[in-house]
Structure 1
């Protein structure tokens, strides 16, 4: 890191010669010795903004990412305090031909981010807050607001909306890719709730767009490619049920066929999973339960009850799990129950590489599930260096998602019932190991893909590894690709937003 800082400082010294010699003016906090090279930016920002340089004490922490793979390099971190600060930062970066990348929360994990080299990092953390409208039908959410803050703020007001499931991610990051959430069976995806938004475009201009604006189509599923959202107005709803229940089963790996046969028959139900039922499963190592092979952790979740209905739980109980733990609580407990709360291990930045290889499935092809389990267990079981990995299978209720016309948003995959993704966790140790992981992830995904019978696999953009193509991420229909490319040429002709699973033109 120190070597990078020295090279970055040298780059900044050269960059400083091109900065405008603007007179001193009140500005926000400036941290580190690169700031003289940023005076042309500093004088354009509000007093509460901040700039952090590579030699600032806080710099390493502010640029630490959840996944230490495919890392961008950063010459300075800008923390805007206002929407206008975001606009001015983008304009300044464009004037000096400097790449920029906005983020909040856990920074994303796709390896395409490494294409952002020696650029400005725009940390949206100060643009945070939730305000419910007077009539209680909408809320304005600032672009840097954490997902848990949204959930907790709305809950305190007797409201809720669709948000991401993981407490440590931002609200906006998942939503720009469509966004799955616990309540999507009732209301649709995160992005389906949007009424309007303020967005800073590639040229630095600020636009307010609503659902009649052509750009809103792209923002709902491919939004990372088109702008920086500074605020959004979203539909909110009265809390329908304060009580939720979960039953957590642990199964051994040799029960994989029985578990997913039961899930197909009694839960997915031919793609008509009950609107109040969600099920997730993880394959992970638990030496106390099995010292050799990964176990299956199966979460069965139901809304509006204090205990899971027997008609859903009994078929799983009958398989004979290693353990079976029922719990009851509220909507606010869901992230902790499923191991993705703020203090859960997956929400910590531990210096590991955390690539995922997502694929959407219509149903669980049981022979393929057995085959992919055997492949996964051979790679991560026992004392493997990938022993902390997790294979995720997320099966939400889909009625609200399927009720939205698929042609109305850039998010293309509304007919699939299961989101699967191996998450291969490891300590980075050079390109050879990274390639081994990529080969493993591709193999696991391909095993599931073959069973779908499709030409192209379908992947959730927010979980993407970075080797997927535009058809995998944004839909294979030619009209979708043409529409995305046309909007890209109109609103970002120079591909300023080209680092997060970019739309290729």
Structure 2
């Protein structure tokens, strides 16, 4: 490692604001701390870049010395494939900061070091809003590259549907603009973008804040598990309605809370983009006799606090292991869901902070955009189901248990769906095949494979859900 540092110290082309961190320094600790402690990319140095040119020089240096490298954004990706890098350089993008409104207020130039919550707040302060993720502490750009589910997608599409262009550093250090003038690479960047380079900034579509549309009315109902089938029968009716309201989303966390019940309980949350949730939705759930009900009105820049995924909230805390096992679903199969909850009930005590997440973002605009228009493969599913197993870090025995329970829970959720596994790539566990995360259409996989060979011929960007060529 010291030999690597000595070599790197000889590189004088970095800007004065760039920093190089070795293991043991606070900068290295900050850069490599991940939301999932069981994901441990093997890095020997971290370069905090301060410009796109710094990224280029770092890539060129690493290539010259045959050193692998990995871009670091918010540190939330949990795919096991990230563990495949060894003796690498981390290219920490946190030094690339800025959110600037341009093109008569219709676009924002967002630098790759920004976190999602920072972008939300910056837009809010400029009386703008856009499709943004449900967790403040993730990086902003990385979710865009994997499709990106989030607030306002029912109205404006996925995060990736609002990408207008990106600055991209390729494997050889060349920096290019990717947009509609480079249609094939632009297609690939929107859904499989982690495979093609390091994005340093994006031009992103933004919208004026409109009173009513820039806030959410929410209600959270807590139920014991015996109401599972009743609640999700109602939720299925909402999903089945043609042209369901774009303002309506719902989310669930199945959890273990002994203060409520020794068996699993769940919180069912309704989000309505606007001033008030129509009584027809709220009353249907309230009639099922929840243990408790909490109503809140939240603005766009505070909505992530409702689920504890704001800065400082429990969902953003690092230090524990967090393994996700995503499954995309068209509806709630009640038998499958019950089977999963029964398995969840058998988790041993080290997993007591685990949940089964069921995210039902509005999908109106998402479904209207043709599937073939981007590399993101699944615009028909209406639910992101994801067992999230949380447990103490640095315990290989618990890692193995998490993997086994995760597989069981995923299988249970999928059993009666009678479709092959489709998994949201941004939540990927790392045991999925390419078809599960990039789609089952043969033309789609062949196109991605061809573009991977063309734009990353040496496989430099193959540490997050890599396209197999």
In the alignment, the residues of structure 1 paired with residue 30 and residue 242 of structure 2 have an alpha-carbon distance, to the nearest angstrom, of 44
Out of 245, 263, 269, which is 1:274 matched to? Answer: 245
For the pair 1:116 / 2:85, whether they are aligned, the reply is yes
In the alignment, the residues of structure 2 paired with residue 440 and residue 272 of structure 1 have an alpha-carbon distance, to the nearest angstrom, of 37
For the pair 1:486 / 2:455, whether they are aligned, the reply is no
Give the C-alpha shift of residue 327 in structure 1: 1.2
Out of 228, 235, 239, which is 2:198 matched to? Answer: 228
Give the C-alpha shift of residue 206 in structure 1: 0.2
Number of aligned residue pairs: give it. 466
Out of 69, 94, 98, which is 2:63 matched to? Answer: 94
Instruction: Confirm or deny: 8 A CA contact 1:128 1:146 kept in the other structure.
Output: no
Instruction: Confirm or deny: 8 A CA contact 1:280 1:299 kept in the other structure.
Output: yes
Give 1:383-402 correspondences, 5 Å limit: 384-402=349-367
When structure 1 is superposed on structure 2, of 189-198 and 325-334 the one drifting more is 325-334
Out of 131, 149, 155, which is 1:180 matched to? Answer: 149
Residue number in structure 2 paired with 1:354:
322
Residue number in structure 2 paired with 1:294:
264
Instruction: Confirm or deny: 8 A CA contact 1:268 1:363 kept in the other structure.
Output: yes
Alpha-carbon distance change, 304 to 55 in structure 1, aligned in 2, over 3 angstroms: closer
Instruction: Confirm or deny: 8 A CA contact 2:38 2:394 kept in the other structure.
Output: no
Which runs of 5 or more structure 2 residues have no equivalent in the other structure?
Answer: none
Give the C-alpha shift of residue 57 in structure 1: 4.0
Give 1:23-422 correspondences, 5 Å limit: 34=5, 36-41=6-11, 43-213=12-182, 214-240=184-210, 241-265=213-237, 267-270=238-241, 272-290=243-261, 292-305=262-275, 307-350=276-319, 352-379=320-347, 384-422=349-387
In the alignment, the residues of structure 1 paired with residue 298 and residue 446 of structure 2 have an alpha-carbon distance, to the nearest angstrom, of 47
Residue number in structure 2 paired with 1:18:
none
Give the C-alpha shift of residue 429 in structure 1: 5.2
TM-score of the aligned structures, taking structure 1 as reference length:
0.90
Which runs of 5 or more structure 1 residues have no equivalent in the other structure?
Answer: 1-7, 16-33
Instruction: Confirm or deny: 8 A CA contact 2:31 2:72 kept in the other structure.
Output: no
Give the C-alpha shift of residue 164 in structure 1: 1.1
Bigger relative contact order, structure 1 or 2 (CA pairs below 8 A, ≥6 apart): 2
In the alignment, the residues of structure 1 paired with residue 422 and residue 130 of structure 2 have an alpha-carbon distance, to the nearest angstrom, of 26
Instruction: Confirm or deny: 8 A CA contact 1:281 1:299 kept in the other structure.
Output: yes
Cα deviations by residue, 1:198-237 (Å, 9 ceiling, x for unpaired): 1001111000121231101110000011111111111111
**Secondary structure in 1 matching 2:266:** strand
In the alignment, the residues of structure 2 paired with residue 317 and residue 175 of structure 1 have an alpha-carbon distance, to the nearest angstrom, of 36
When structure 1 is superposed on structure 2, of 43-52 and 270-279 the one drifting more is 270-279
In the alignment, the residues of structure 2 paired with residue 325 and residue 373 of structure 1 have an alpha-carbon distance, to the nearest angstrom, of 24
Give the C-alpha shift of residue 294 in structure 1: 2.0
In the alignment, the residues of structure 2 paired with residue 174 and residue 357 of structure 1 have an alpha-carbon distance, to the nearest angstrom, of 17
TM-score of the aligned structures, taking structure 2 as reference length:
0.97
In the alignment, the residues of structure 1 paired with residue 396 and residue 457 of structure 2 have an alpha-carbon distance, to the nearest angstrom, of 33
Alpha-carbon distance change, 55 to 430 in structure 1, aligned in 2, over 3 angstroms: closer
**Secondary structure in 1 matching 2:351:** coil
In the alignment, the residues of structure 2 paired with residue 60 and residue 132 of structure 1 have an alpha-carbon distance, to the nearest angstrom, of 33
Residue number in structure 2 paired with 1:497:
461
In the alignment, the residues of structure 2 paired with residue 187 and residue 401 of structure 1 have an alpha-carbon distance, to the nearest angstrom, of 8
